[in-house]
Structure 1
Amino acid sequence: MDSDTVRLGDGKYLLVTTFKRDGTAVPTPVWVVRDGTELLFWTVANSGKVKRIRNNGRVEVAECDFRGAKSGPTTPGTARLLDADGSEHTRRLIQRKYGIVGRITMLGSRLRRGPNGTIGVAITLD
């Protein structure tokens, strides 16, 4: 397994940078889990991140703190949106990794947005 995948997946936060059509970078800190050779995170299904990933799966990732202050080297990767089963798998992994805070966050999100209001995203490092 790639050491960058392990290092980034074992961290608490990941800075995911997606790109607008004009090439403008948009960095966003997210919770992250490692699943085999991929990094997974979840987000609101109609968020800007999702729209940008649909348009262009190229991303850059780095370790960061909860505010998004980068604390490690940037690594390029490719993101893809997950189907309903993959998104549910991502939610379960996040709940397991982040404990009670993860479970409460997932419950609140499901109550606010419904079962299809969030989506899982998988990143494979280049």
Structure 2
Amino acid sequence: MSVLRAIHEEKYVRLTTFTRDGRKKHIPVWIALISDKCIGFTTVQNSWKVKRILHTSSVELIASDYSGNPLKDAKAVLGNARIVDGEEYREVVKAISSKYGWQYKMIALANRLRHFFRNGNLSSDCAIIVTFDKS
């Protein structure tokens, strides 16, 4: 099985981005397979992970629990990330919704309601697509 498919099968994956001085920053994300070459996840444009990816596109992914703790015997994989919007963003949303089903739909609904009543930020307005160095 390819690294890409193995990572895709996990419910949670810890994303590691890198600061300008090389420090690692971790966060768990939901991912979905976008094509036979890449995975994607949604986020907001003003998030720290987006800011870090804008200056350092290298990322690391590893299977994790919901808190971002790596699973036993999980292997980290390196990839290159890029921020997308428009049609590519919608493609990622569709893939995430398909993989996570009602859970994603409930979170999306709650975020829309929060946005409507509090005029807060939506939970996602862009996506990140990761292509792996090796598959």
Is the shorter-chain TM-score for this pair beyond 0.5, marking a shared fold?
A: yes
2:56 and 2:19 map into 1 onto residues whose CA distance is: 8
1:51 alignment partner, SS class: helix
CA shift in 2, pair 1:14/1:54, >3 Å: same
Which position in structure 1 is the counterpart of 2:86?
84
Moved over 4 A (4+): none
Q: TM-score, normalised by structure 2?
A: 0.85
Amino acid at match of 2:30: W
2:127 and 2:61 map into 1 onto residues whose CA distance is: 16
CA shift in 2, pair 1:89/1:109, >3 Å: farther
Task: Compare CA radii of gyration and give the structure with the larger one.
Answer: 2
CA contact (8 A) 1:8 1:63 kept: yes
CA-CA distance at 1:13 after TM superposition: 0.8
2:95 and 2:111 map into 1 onto residues whose CA distance is: 15
Gaps of 5+ in 2: 116-120
CA-CA distance at 1:61 after TM superposition: 0.7
CA contact (8 A) 1:95 1:106 kept: no
**Over aligned residue pairs, what C-alpha RMSD do you find?**
1.6
Which position in structure 2 is the counterpart of 1:4?
3
Q: TM-score, normalised by structure 1?
A: 0.91
Share of identical aligned residues, percent? 31
What number of residue pairs does the alignment pair up? 124
CA shift in 2, pair 1:6/1:94, >3 Å: same
CA-CA distance at 1:86 after TM superposition: 1.0
Which position in structure 2 is the counterpart of 1:121?
128
2:40 and 2:110 map into 1 onto residues whose CA distance is: 20
CA-CA distance at 1:98 after TM superposition: 0.7
